[in-house]
Amino acid sequence: MQVERGAGLLAVIEEARAEALALPEEIYARVFRRLRPRTPLPRIQVEFRRWANANAQVRLEDGLLLVRIADLLEPAPAGVHEALAEILLAKLYRRPCSRAATDRYRRYLHRGDVRQSLDRVRQARGRKLVESPQGQHFDLEEIFEELNFRYFFGLMARPALGWSRQASRTLLGHYDASHNTIVLSRILDRPDTPRLAVEYVLFHEMLHVRHPAEHRGARRCVHTRAFKDAEQLFERLGEAKNLLKTLS
């Protein structure tokens, strides 16, 4: 009985070892067979690309399943690659993806060492294309300094500031931590835009500098409790939010 249990344990260990050493193409073939058991297995090609983000793509064309993954994900454990394979193939065939796969993949991306690697790669390979902070109607550097002294005692180091190249109505502002840059949508740089609206959007992004996102397992919390509490200190907060609803 003891021998049988030992043999069973060894079999499990060997199976796990084989999965860990599996080639990416083998992992995608295994997941494909699981998701599409009645569909003939296509030719599979997995490529790792020098991208600036943790991107991944999949497409099926002329019997070839082509998967392209950011090279910074190449060292990930086999289980993470299997989770990503399920996510990509489920998306390709418009099928629901298991919660276990999405959680495992997100947990890996949220690991401290992985996030640090992502930031380094973004800094080295990525480019932040923004326009001058001096817009046609508003100077972001001037507004930043006013907000800095009003709400941060003048102690916040000024990140790079700029107007977006495109006038987006859906993304009025964002903070790029990798490049330490705050960008506001050019849609706000208009003569009919109340200054209060521009101040609030810039203040909101300054809070992202002061209160970075927190990673809790598979969840990424951008607006933390500390962030929300600090946002309540903005004068005429309700009026500013209503203005943005009108503008967007």
Is position 133 within any domain? no
182 and 206 belong to one structural domain:
yes
Of 122 and 86, which is predicted with more confidence? 86
User: Within this chain, do residues 155 and 104 fall inside the same structural domain, yes or no?
Assistant: no
- The string of DSSP codes covering 9-70 is HHHHHHHHHHHHT--HHHHHHHHHHHH-TTSPPPEEEEEEE--SS--EEEEEETTEEEEEEE
CATH number where 185 lies: 3.30.2010.10
Do 111 and 145 fall within a single domain? no
145 and 121 in a common domain: no
User: How much is the pLDDT for 12?
Assistant: 42
Average pLDDT over residues 97-106: 94
The predicted-structure confidence for 22-34, as pLDDT tens digits, reads as follows: 799 999 999 999 9
| Over residues 17-22, mean pLDDT | 54
Amino acid in position 142: E
Same domain flag for 117 and 146: no
In a domain, 41, yes or no: yes
pLDDT in tens, 122-171: 878 877 778 899 999 999 999 999 999 999 999 999 999 999 998 898 89
Expressed as residue numbers, the domain containing 82 is 2-125
Q: Which one is predicted more confidently, 112 or 104?
A: 104
At residue 15 the predicted structure's pLDDT band, cuts being 50, 70 and 90, is: very low
The count of domains in the chain is 2
Residue 5 reports pLDDT greater than 70: no
In sequence order, what are the beta bridge partners of 134? 139
Amino acid identity of 231? E
In terms of residues, how long is the chain? Answer: 248
Task: Name the domain boundary from 125, 151, 177.
Answer: 125
Q: Which residues contact 72 (CB under 8 A, 6 or more apart)?
A: 51, 54, 117, 118, 121
Q: What is the pLDDT of residues 191-207, one digit of tens each?
A: 999 999 999 999 999 99
Same domain, 226 and 145: yes
* Assigned domain for 135 exists: no
- In this prediction, residue 74 has a pLDDT band, given cuts at 50, 70 and 90, of very high
